[in-house]
Amino acid sequence: MLNENYLLVLVLFPFIATLIVAFTRGNAVSWVSISLAAIYFVIALLGFSVKELHYTAVWYAPLGLSYGFYLDAYSYFLILLSAFLTLISLYYSRGVIHEKLAAYHALFHALQATVVACLLCDDLVFFYVFWEAMLIPMYFIIGIWGGPRRIYATMKFFLFTFAGSLLMLIGLIATYVMYYKGTGQWSSSFHSLLEYYQAHPLSVETQRWIFLSFIISFAIKVPLFPFHTWLPDAHVEAPTAGSVILAGVLLKMGTYGLMRFAVPLFPEAAAHYAMPLCLLSVIGIILGALVAWRQTDIKKLIAYSSVSHLGFVTLGIFMMTEIGWNGAYLQMINHGISTGALFLLVGFLYDQRHTRDISAYGGLAKILPAYSVVLAIIAFSSVALPGTNGFIGELLIVIGSFQSKVASWGWVVAASTAAVLGAIYMLHLVQKICYGKNQDPQNEQLYDFRFREWVIYIPLVALVFIIGFYPEWLLGPVREKTMQIFSTIPQHLR
């Protein structure tokens, strides 16, 4: 049986790994980094059977600040996803990144450290601290190892997310101060705040203003339309491993924040804004798919597809049904797996040809048969083909949306058209790259998967089918947590 010390290991190990890697020199850097990432993945797996763990240590009693950490199904599976994708990304980077190796690997461990701490934080002040700290490693990863427009992309990424974070800080301080006015005690513990505001709800007007400060910050991180414009630039300029973690993990922090903090703390405001937020989600779903369809850069296509896929997640959240929430959470995990795999597949071609232009490729099914099969499988997963991981998540969101009191079924039908658009642009991508005419003799020199690639893609493909055929191992714990959250939301709001 694991106790609260397990939470300390989960939080502290990535920080320790960062220091170890930062001071490692020579050719050993990559293997030390990968080994530490593998150890952490095993540590994360140990918590699979844990339902809930809570750890609190007082930091500054007069202001009610504490090192509070909380693990449940919502935080656990995202931590597991982060550990898995970080391990895959660092292994992929071996042999691809040759400059400033220690700094590169240390920044990835630092990024994982801030992500895990953010996911486990029960204290809202420390949640904000780590929420901001996440920006720093990714800023340097893109800014140092990114493409030719990396400075522009990093500045845009930083300014968008930092501006949203400042709004969240205002809402957080308001929540914190009003708790003191009501109780005479200071506390920034989420569970303390939640218990108090359930018994003594804020006025609807106050909830709405505070909720807006949270929702803008989380919407920028997702990103929800119209706050999505920073994402394509960041993805295009980021190194391949950076794109994997950005899409697979960092974007989910926005939807996690909605499900963990914003909706449970301010249910009246969430219900009030649910319809316009569903409308923005539907616009993002359709617009993201249409723009992805017209892209000639493979990375930009995947970036805009993320806007579309995550629009489905926010739609599932703001339809305010339990089934929709379960589907939304499952899609967060599914998107991390499928989109992370797509970026790695793009990187495989780019490392050899140094171009992401779709028209530069063609006829690769004969030259790279293994690559083509894996690309087709991941593409089917991305468009939610039955039997793959993407299908059950989207199905639950659609079913939950039909049960919702928030919006009519017409909205769901409109959003579902994106599934058709998704099939068009993903199958178009596969057809152009694998089955079209070979446009360049240089493609004849490409090599197919070797041992390194099989190590990377076998686990990803396996997860596509494991979740597709047996999602209950993940959905079971998530469903219990969702029921717990919805039991705290007034019946008339859901």
| Higher pLDDT, residue 229 or 418 | 229
- The reply to whether 19 falls in a domain is no
Supply the pLDDT for residue 455. 93
CA angle 351, 353, 354 (to 5 degrees): 65
Supply the pLDDT for residue 358. 87
Domain count, the chain: 1
- The reply to whether 474 falls in a domain is yes
User: Minimal CA–CA distance to 88: which of 452, 431, 451?
Assistant: 452
Question: Residue 211: what are its φ and ψ, rounded to 5°?
Answer: -60, -40
- The reply to whether 34 falls in a domain is no
- Mean pLDDT, residues 294-323 taken together: 89
Other beta carbons less than 10 A from residue 381's beta carbon: 29
pTM above 0.75, yes or no: yes
Q: Is the pLDDT of residue 492 over 70?
A: no
CA dihedral 383, 304, 429, 81 (to 10 degrees): -60
Percent pLDDT > 70 in the chain is 98
Supply the pLDDT for residue 11. 93
Q: Is the pLDDT of residue 408 over 80?
A: no
- d(Cα 294, Cα 349) in Å, to the nearest integer? 20
Which two tokens mark 455?
Answer: 């190590």
- The reply to whether 420 falls in a domain is yes
Domain of 324 in residue numbering reads as 274-494
DSSP 357: B
Whether 29 contacts 99, CB under 8 Å: no
- The reply to whether 392 falls in a domain is yes
- What's the full length of the chain, in residues? 494
Supply the pLDDT for residue 493. 62
- The reply to whether 129 falls in a domain is no
Please write the tens of the pLDDT for every residue from 313-340: 999 898 888 998 999 999 999 999 999 9
| Higher pLDDT, residue 79 or 95 | 79
Q: pLDDT confidence of 112, banded at 50, 70, 90?
A: very high
- The reply to whether 79 falls in a domain is no
Supply the pLDDT for residue 461. 95
Listed ranges 19-23, 398-402, 408-412, 445-449; the one with the highest mean pLDDT: 19-23
- The reply to whether 382 falls in a domain is yes
- d(Cα 95, Cα 449) in Å, to the nearest integer? 15
Supply the pLDDT for residue 1. 66
Supply the pLDDT for residue 80. 95
Q: pLDDT confidence of 163, banded at 50, 70, 90?
A: confident
- Mean pLDDT, residues 261-282 taken together: 89
Tell me what the pLDDT averaged over the chain comes to.
Answer: 88
Residues of the chain by 3-state class (helix, strand, coil), percent to 5: 75, 5, 20
Q: pLDDT confidence of 221, banded at 50, 70, 90?
A: confident
- d(Cα 384, Cα 57) in Å, to the nearest integer? 44
Please write the tens of the pLDDT for every residue from 39-91: 999 999 998 888 888 888 888 888 888 888 999 999 999 999 999 999 999 99
